[in-house]
Amino acid sequence: MPGKPNQKLKLLYLAELFHRRTDAAHSVTAGQIADYLAERGITAERKSIYSDIEVLRQFGMPIERGSCVRDGYRLAHSRFDTLELMMLVDAVQSSPVLTRSQSERLVEKLASVACDHQAELIRRQLYGSSYEQSERTILQSRTKTDSETLFNTIGTIHKAIAQGCRIRFIYVHRMLVNNIPVYDTGREFVISPYALVWNQEKYYVVGNYGKYNDLSHYRVDRMNHVVCTTEPARPIDEVSDYRGIIDTADYMRRVFNMFAGTHSVVVELECDMKLFDAVTERFGINIPYRQISDERFAVRTGVILSEGFFRWLLGYAGGITVVSPDSVCREVAKRLREMLAQYE
């Protein structure tokens, strides 16, 4: 009845009910809907409930009815399916960038957009099987940062990328003093930031240090006092072969273990077939591979020459051979001789 208090909230409560209480496996009957509304001070006849459900359908909510009246009504699909939510929860729980309290808040926010049945699964994932009595979350056994500064730093970098301006920061490294690991005083950098990338549980910002015409990357957790400047960022076209925007997937394929490199070259490698999984995981499947025999294959691709690239090569010993260029072949041979000399 339009004249009664709370009647204007009826459709909102009804939409909330479908989002919170139903999914592909759980339905509500017209009687349960009437009870839910009554708890909120709203009277509703079955006829008006059916009419309101039709209005929500016209609005775009995918409400479907079971094969008979007793089956009730439900959302055909939720905002997120359970697998999507659990993958997001796993990512939040595993991220060392977030503090425990930040992770808990994000998980609770994910639970808030889930239906009640999904939210219960999420909270069990966070607190364990007896989460009602537990004060200790599973997050306490994860490696997490103790500082919320890192979260704010990431926000500042995102802002600079969006606004197209440079950032200034102090970049620090660990050192050993009196047998105790500490951070040094650091060095100031001003860079043009182009992208944030995630690698081996660390965040990196990819950018250009104005002194050079190339790309470099910096670990975000080592960046202190990050601020946006008024100086515009250099166009990425000036410092790389990317046009307009960085291809982060391509950049990550060329970089090995996030070691800084000198320059990019095209290398040809011959590899044991048993290493095909390892090589395709490193370079992807969208580059040409050539089968030499049942035991060997070749690949030709661009890489950034760095300590990480050579360590990756040497880690496979005789399983991967550099065919070209000669300069890389000579560098590998030199490193092998130096390794051998340590054991002679």
Identify the pLDDT of residue 133. 42
233 DSSP 8-state letter: P
pLDDT tens sequence across 291-338: 998 889 999 988 888 888 888 888 887 899 999 999 999 999 998 898
- What's the burial of 312, exposed, middle or buried (CB within 10 Å: 0-12/13-18/19+)? middle
Is this structure's pTM higher than 0.85?
A: no
Averaged pLDDT, groups of 10, the chain, 344 residues long: 66 91 86 92 89 93 78 83 83 81 85 83 66 47 64 92 96 79 88 90 90 90 94 95 89 70 82 89 83 90 84 86 92 89 86
Strand blocks (E) in the chain:
63-65, 73-75, 165-171, 174-177, 180-183, 187-199, 202-209, 216-219, 223-232, 261-272, 289-291, 296-306, 320-324
* pLDDT computed for residue 78 by the predictor: 77
Measured CA distances, 58 to 54, 62, 169, 180 (Å): 6, 9, 52, 66
pLDDT tens track for 101-151:
888 888 888 888 888 888 887 777 666 554 444 444 544 545 556 667 888
Please choose, from the candidates 59, 81, 45, the residue with its C-alpha nearest in 3D space to the C-alpha of residue 15. Answer: 59
Q: What is the pLDDT of residue 280?
A: 86
CA angle in degrees (0–180, nearest 5) for 315-319-320:
80
> Taking each helix axis from N to C terminus, what angle separates 82-94 and 100-112, rounded to the nearest 10 degrees?
170
Residue 14 backbone dihedrals phi, psi, to 5 degrees: -65, -45
Determine the pLDDT at residue 146.
Answer: 62
> Do the Cβ atoms of 255 and 262 come closer than 8 Å?
no
For residue 336, CA distances in Å to 108, 310, 314, 333 come to 52, 10, 8, 5
Give the span between the Cα atoms of 172 and 182, in whole angstroms.
Answer: 10
Buried b / exposed e along 15-43 (16+ C-beta atoms within 10 A)? bebbbbbbbeeebbbbeebbebbeeeebe
Closest CA to 284 of 323, 313, 248, 318: 248
Q: What is the pLDDT of residue 127?
A: 65
pLDDT at position 68 is 62
